[in-house]
Structure 1
Amino acid sequence: MATNVVILGAKGRMGDTLVNMALADEELNLVGACEREGNAGGIDHDGCIVSDCLEELLPQVPGAVVVDFTMPEASVAMAGIAARFGNPAVIGTTGLSKAQQAELATMARDVPLFWAPNMSVGVNVLLKVLPTLVRLLGPDYDMEMVETHHKMKKDSPSGTALKLAQCLAEARGWEYDEVKRHCRDGIIGERPRKEIGVQTLRGGDVFGDHTMYFFGPGERIEITHRAHSRETFATGALRAAKWLANQKPGRLYTMADVL
């Protein structure tokens, strides 16, 4: 049975990709598209309800999974509306604060909610294997990261970079906020052993590059993930939507659950 989905921010760069991929997927029904107030015109697909008010749209599509790649404040507000009407929701928005993530976790007790700062299958597999690499290399390897995104990206470091760096810190038994270094400038002295640097590049139309460096005695290892298109993230999000439609509330789900 096909999964009904509603795309939030349907005219945005990511939203448009999601709409087109949902329409092409036989396992999905695009039943709703939502845009900000006054911007919903121009969306016209058979069987798809178009609205600029999610509260008016969701009662018409009970049980449909909302897919959202918008802004942190909008995503949290969306989750609250979805919880009120009982619609599961997949969130791929980055830049959420710890308080906002905690809000989502609370709402997930009442409705199936999924959040991942990166929907790429490759990135989420990396999150599984990186701890093993860190443990095998041992404490003599310094860990650093460089992330690159398009010039329109608003948050820095990227949500993916933070998730990967947190993964590295946890593998060492460190608290990430205590060892992170997101910027270096001036006379800063020698690099401490207990530190993870994450540096940010912005420019052009790069979809997302993340390179992790492991600097050891006499050698270094570099692991790079490059996203070639927005379809990489859309594929993961729609896969998550199909999976979430059959889940129960209780906790905030992640891509690890889907995989």
Structure 2
Amino acid sequence: MMKLSLIGIGCGDPAQLTQAAIGAINAADLVLIPRKGAAKSDLADLRRTICADVLTNATTRIAEFDLPVRDASEADYRKGVDDWHDAVAASWSQTIAHHLGGEGKAALLIWGDPSLYDSSLRIARRLNPLPNIEVVPGITSIQALCAAHALPLNDIGEPFLVTTGRRLREGGWPQGVDTVVVMLDGGTAFQSLDPEGLHIWWGAYLGMTDQIILSGTLAEVGSRIVAARQDARERHGWIMDSYILKRRP
């Protein structure tokens, strides 16, 4: 039976790789490296670097493939995502079948961790035939963001909420919490909030050599984050960022 390992590799620093992740990479017959176009070549480069650094099993093969792009023009967001996941699953299946046939162990190196705002598990369950799925956890972007700012995420005895930029923009500040972690923000959803009493801890390219972090009251640093984000995206052609908002009385 085919086995598929989804291996968390942290947020960009090869030193964040766990021993379990290294073992799983070397136990694979095939490591898949998705290509997301020239603008995001850094993402494939990191995976190549990790394989070059830790892969000692001479029988493990590496296969690169082009990842389908989501149709952002689709009016129905959920349908657009479902169609995209179907296309990605088909691409995974075709690449695995081409190199391994119906038996063996394939592995994908997952940026961050497969458990948090990552669709790898949902896509893996769409493969045909369905493989035996193994997950090796990694350092999440939330862990990396808190570490970069030396910040404890939750206040004593208090909850926090992890959400998306889309939900924050459309729904405003969530009820019942004073700490919000925002991920997958294609823009700067914090600009839709009243900045009074809000503090922000923002980070981009966490764990990478180009890491950027900014923090302070939202009123004071919000515009600086917007400018830094725009500049970084223009220079790199892509950006991965996240932030924590805390409401202070």
Same fold (TM over 0.5): no
TM-score between the two structures when normalised by the length of structure 2: 0.36
TM-score relative to the length of structure 1: 0.35
